[in-house]
A = this chain, B = another copy of it.
Amino acid sequence: MSETRVTMRDVAARAQVSLKTVSNVVNNYPYIKASTRSRVEEAIAELGFTVNVSARNLRRGRSGMIGLAVPELSLPYFAELADSVIRAAEARGLTVLIEQTGAVRERELAVLGGERRSFTDGLIYSPLALGPDDVGELSVVDYPLVLLGERIFGGPADHVTMSNVEAAYAATMHLVERGRRRIAVIGAHEGEAVGSAALRMQGYRRALDHAGIPFDPALVAEAGLWHRSTGAEAMARLLDDRVEIDAVFGLNDALALGALHVLHDRRVSVPGQIAVIGFDDIDETAYSSPTLSTVHPGREEIARTAVDLLLQRIEGPGKDQPFREVIADFSIVERQSTAG
């Protein structure tokens, strides 16, 4: 069934050339006589040769593969991010190896020292459970690393993030400008100083301040995990507590979609009685009922930038530069849930 693998040596013998010439052809070395090249290509085709990438990697000391560590692919934001990273990497000739951490601190740390780091040229790392206390773990890292997200700032690595505070400010102002004053927020993490939750809350409060609306703690609903289910639960709690509300800001889309679901269930009209805005602009927001206004975080740009920074650390001119922090652009996408 499985014949022994065809090697370059076989191709060389068949094409009556040296090993090196075959290698040159395979690697598109430019200076090869056309006749030689075609003879080699013929032999390759006839024998069905493909390079052994393990051998190539060993020799080159590089694998052309980068890791992407995300919490979970079943969270749409990360699935879409992975999609974008794979495309961006492909455009640069890199292959992406996805690792799921489950947003568990232990597993997030394990990824940093895992065996996979030895056959990956670098890592794009999107932690959800790590915090500033873990910066130490990052500084022992001796391979190219790009951080994504807002868990760790000023860490010993390149960092791509978005302007969370400004974006949350803009989202809140979007509601304020439409006459809303009792704006609930879903997804807060009490006592947390870093992370998307804290930053987005900051933007929310800043907008209220700016608009002269007093901050009311009763309007803040916690949600540890940012899933549809927790968003739904938080929304239900707010309604059950009979808090007066005319708008909801979900700190991510999943939360907002969960909230939307509960509002629909309870026959609360959106945006009539309560306007809703989310954050992330996942695909689904364009097809919910009603469609969800949200913050578009520039996912593609983030992915592209992360890959580029990593590539520069791997080989490029950025190899020894000080660590850089890139902040991606955002925009507000207005849909039905805040219309009118």
Contact = CB atoms under 8 A, between A and B. Distances in A.
Contacts of A97: 95, 97
Interface string A46-64: 0000111111011000010
Interface in A86-107: 86-87, 95-98, 100
Interface residues of A, number: 52
Given A52-B118, A86-B98, A287 B232 contact: yes
Given A257-B287, A289-B264, A58 B51 contact: no
B79 A100 contact: no
Contacts of A72: 83
Contacts of A82: 73, 98
A25 to B, nearest CB: 15
Contacts of A131: none
Contacts of A87: 100
A133 interface: no
Contact of A283 (B83, B228, B289): B228
A261 B288 contact: yes
Interface string A65-93: 00000001110100110110011000000
Interface string A192-220: 00000000000000000000000000000
A24 interface: no
A320 interface: yes
Contact of A261 (B113, B142, B229, B289): B289
A6 to B, nearest CB: 10
Given A73-B73, A80-B74, A289-B289, A53 B260 contact: no
A291 B117 CA distance: 42
A265 B287 contact: no
A286 interface: yes
Nearest to A64: B115
Contacts of A76: 74, 76, 79
B74 A2 contact: no
A53 B80 CA distance: 29
A118 B63 contact: no
Nearest to A65: B97
A338 B101 CA distance: 36
A51 B115 CA distance: 7
A288 B265 CA distance: 10
B58 A228 contact: no
Contacts of A54: 54, 57-58, 63, 118-119
14 contacts: A1-B320, A3-B142, A52-B118, A54-B54, A54-B57, A73-B80, A74-B76, A83-B100, A86-B100, A97-B97, A228-B284, A232-B287, A257-B284, A261-B289
Given A52-B58, A257-B287, A260-B289, 15 more contacts: A50-B115, A50-B117, A52-B118, A53-B115, A74-B80, A74-B83, A82-B98, A86-B98, A228-B283, A229-B286, A257-B284, A284-B284, A288-B288, A288-B289, A289-B289
